[in-house]
Amino acid sequence: MKTIIEPFRIKSVEPIRQTTRLQREGFIKAAGYNLFQIRACDILIDLLTDSGTSAMSTEQWAAIMRGDESYAGSDSFYRLEKTVQDLTAFRHVIPTHQGRAAERILFSLVCKPGQTIPNNTHFDTTRANIEVTGARAVDLPLPEAADTQARLPFKGNIHIEALERLIETEGASKIPLVMVTVTNNSGGGQPVSMANLEKVREITRRHGIPFYLDACRFAENAYFIQQGEPGYADLSPRQIARKMFSLADGCTFSAKKDAFANIGGLLCTNDDLLAGQEKDLLILTEGFPTYGGLAGRDLDAIAVGLEEVLDSDYLRYRIASTAYLGRHIADHGVPIVEPPGGHAIYIDAGRMLPHIPRSQFPGQALAAELYLHAGVRSVEIGSVMFGENARHELLRLAIPRRVYTQSHIDYLVEAILEINDRKHDLRGFEIVEQPQFLRHFSARFQPIAGE
Ligand code: F0G
């Protein structure tokens, strides 16, 4: 059969609310044209993020009932620890309330002012948790990845020559660890090849630098390796994921992505001394090391999710449905970051709306119009989010896992193509009010008046 179906049936449904364009005009105006400020009940299809928005399975809900809420030594922790160790082989498994808590603990221990952490592309919380220590977060994406239209496999790779140059100029002692994000979220959800990870392992070993994965979307990355990298077609996603983890000395992980959990994270390491320090810090702000800021039931949901996500039928459906969205809009003239990534499609709004200058936020203009036209929430990843540092003006459509069906995606394709047909009518925005920090969450905008 050519048709790839959702590999699940639906047992419990959550209604979504249709609104009229007139109602949406009122909602978005009251929100200052900032989609973070709109109430979720006023959204029809919510593609703001794939984080914490997954649908849990019957097995996960069953596991939630098994959750052991003991303060210390909970069975739920030992079930999670076993699952994570079977998958990653890391000696120490530390639960945290989400990914950024793992980042904060790790970087506050290993980073000092004047040091540098390289990554293929740092996620915003990763960068912020490094910079707050006085260290520098450096992105080393492939130079070819600057062209959103280039259809390269493993476009999420770290630039190996640039990494070697950086180690040469900074000195290994100034680099507390090298991190690689799989898949490369900020770089378009693009995968990283095993060959690239092996190269990083070889270089970091040679220089005595620890190598960490930001493993949020490890299973999607493993599937891309199975499909696209020579030599991996006969290995299962689990075997590939194991190999990816075996190359690293530790990882940070947000269970809100590839573990289908609504909350949770992990910090893993093979370093006994560091693990002790991490657990001390964990107790200060997260909780005892056998729950780390989570309920026992959350630990069980994560343990089950980590098994389910490596199912081949699920991963085939997941990557195919993201690609379906990408191909159906791109092949009809909407420029996306090519090729489609794992968890999201990124529209190159700067390229789609060349009549709107960067200073008037083309990504925000498209986000607002997609909400007004179809009730869909997306997120600008460009000059609103990153200010002067933005490399592109993108609009991210992140796909929650196991939540929306094919007809939701078809509706989305139709909406985007209709907007594309009259894209010249879209107008830019100006910021009328902004806070000092985190402006993309709460800045207020207004449309630039037409002639
Ligand atoms: N690393 C990456 C690559 C991420 O995408 C995220 C979160 C984190 C770390 C932090 O994890 O949210 O559990 O604290 N990304 C979400 C997103 C928020 O929408 O892309 P967290």
Residue 243 Cα, ligand 1 centroid: separation in angstroms? 23
Is there a contact between 181 and 145 (Cβ–Cβ < 8 Å)? no
Q: If pLDDT is split at 50, 70 and 90, which confidence band does 451 have?
A: low
The C-alpha angle with vertex 190 and arms to 184 and 194, in degrees rounded to 5, equals 85
**Sign of the alpha-carbon torsion through 327, 189, 320, 40:** negative
Summarize the confidence of residues 172-194 as an average pLDDT: 95
Tell me the sheet residues that pair with 430. Answer: 446
For ligand 1, the distance from its centroid to the CA atom of residue 184, given in whole angstroms, is 11
Assess whether the C-beta atom of 262 lies below 6 angstroms from ligand 1: no
* Cα 288 to Cα 76: distance, rounded to the nearest angstrom: 13
Query: 99 C-alpha vs ligand 1 centroid, how far in Å?
Result: 6
Pocket test of ligand 1: the residue of 54, 218, 254, 394 to mutate, having most ligand atoms within 8 Å of its CB, is 254
Tell me, using a 6 A CB cutoff, whether residue 51 lines ligand 1: yes
Is the beta carbon of 220 within 6 A of some atom in ligand 1?
A: no
| pLDDT higher than 80, residue 436 | no
pLDDT at 449 exceeding the cut of 90? no
Ligand 1 neighbour 99 (Cβ under 6 A): yes
Q: What pLDDT does residue 42 have?
A: 98
Atom 15 (ligand 1) nearest CA: 51
Q: Residue 362, exposed/middle/buried by CB under 10 A (0-12, 13-18, 19+)?
A: buried
Cβ–ligand 1 contact at 190 (below 6 Å): no
Among 46, 47, 48, 51, residue to substitute to test ligand 1 (most atoms within 8 Å of Cβ): 51
Beta carbons of 94 and 279 less than 8 angstroms apart: yes
pLDDT at 82 over 90: yes
pLDDT confidence bin for 305, thresholds 50/70/90: very high
Cα 134 to middle of ligand 1, angstroms: 21
Q: Tell me if 269 CB under 6 Å of ligand 1.
A: no
- Contact predicate 179/200, CB 8 Å: no
Model pLDDT, residue 188: 85
Give the atom of ligand 1 at the shortest distance from the alpha carbon of 184. Answer: 3
pLDDT (0 to 100) of residue 2:
85
Give the mean pLDDT of 135-160.
96
Radius of gyration of the chain (CA): 22
Count CA atoms within 13 Å of residue 7 on its CB side. 15
CA of 52 to the centre of ligand 1 (A): 10
CA of 130 from ligand 1 middle (Å) equals 15
Give the residues across from 213 on adjacent strands.
180, 251
- Position 238 scores a pLDDT of 98
- pLDDT (mean) for 278-287: 97
- % of the chain beyond a pLDDT of 90: 94
User: Whose Cα sits closest to atom 2 in ligand 1?
Assistant: 123
Q: How far is the CA of 261 from the centre of ligand 1 (A)?
A: 13
pLDDT in tens, 325-345: 999 999 999 999 999 999 999
Interhelix angle for 99-110 vs 124-131, to 10°? 30
Per-residue pLDDT, averaged over 187-194, amounts to: 93
* One-character DSSP codes across 218-281: HHHHHHHHHHHSTT-TTS-HHHHHHHHHHT-SEEEEETTSTT--SS-EEEEES-HHHHHHHHHH
The pLDDT confidence band at residue 348, using thresholds 50, 70 and 90, is: very high
**Separation of CA 23 and ligand 1 centre (Å):** 32
In this predicted structure, what is the pLDDT of residue 268? Answer: 98
Q: Is any atom of ligand 1 closer than 6 Å to the C-beta of 126?
A: yes
- Position 334 scores a pLDDT of 98
Half-sphere exposure of 208 (CA within 13 A, CB side): 4
Assess contact for 382 and 366: CB atoms under 8 A.
no
Strands ordered across the beta sheet of 250-254: 92-96, 265-269, 250-254, 211-214, 178-181
Question: CB of 49 closer than 6 A to ligand 1?
Answer: yes
Give tens-digit pLDDT for 234-250.
999 999 999 999 999 99
Mean pLDDT of the 114-131 span: 95
Q: How far is the CA of 125 from the centre of ligand 1 (A)?
A: 7
What's the mean pLDDT when you consider all of the chain? 96
Q: Whose CA is nearest to atom 21 of ligand 1?
A: 99
Tell me the C-alpha distance between 393 and 267, whole Å.
Answer: 32
d(CA 255, ligand 1 centre) in Å: 9
Q: What is the Å distance from ligand 1's center to 256 Cα?
A: 8
Higher-pLDDT residue of 387, 30: 30
If you average pLDDT over residues 41-61, what whole number do you get?
A: 98
Mutate to test the pocket of ligand 1, among 49, 53, 100 (most ligand atoms within 8 A of CB): 100
Query: Residue 373: its pLDDT value, please?
Result: 98
Average pLDDT over residues 68-93: 98
Say if residue 285's pLDDT is above 70: yes
The fraction of the chain above a pLDDT of 70, given in percent, is 100
Q: What is the DSSP letter of 337?
A: S
Residue 195's Cβ-side half-sphere holds a number of Cα atoms within 13 Å equal to: 10
Confidence of residue 195 (pLDDT cuts 50, 70, 90): very high
Please tell me if the CB atom of residue 254 comes closer than 6 angstroms to any atom of ligand 1: yes
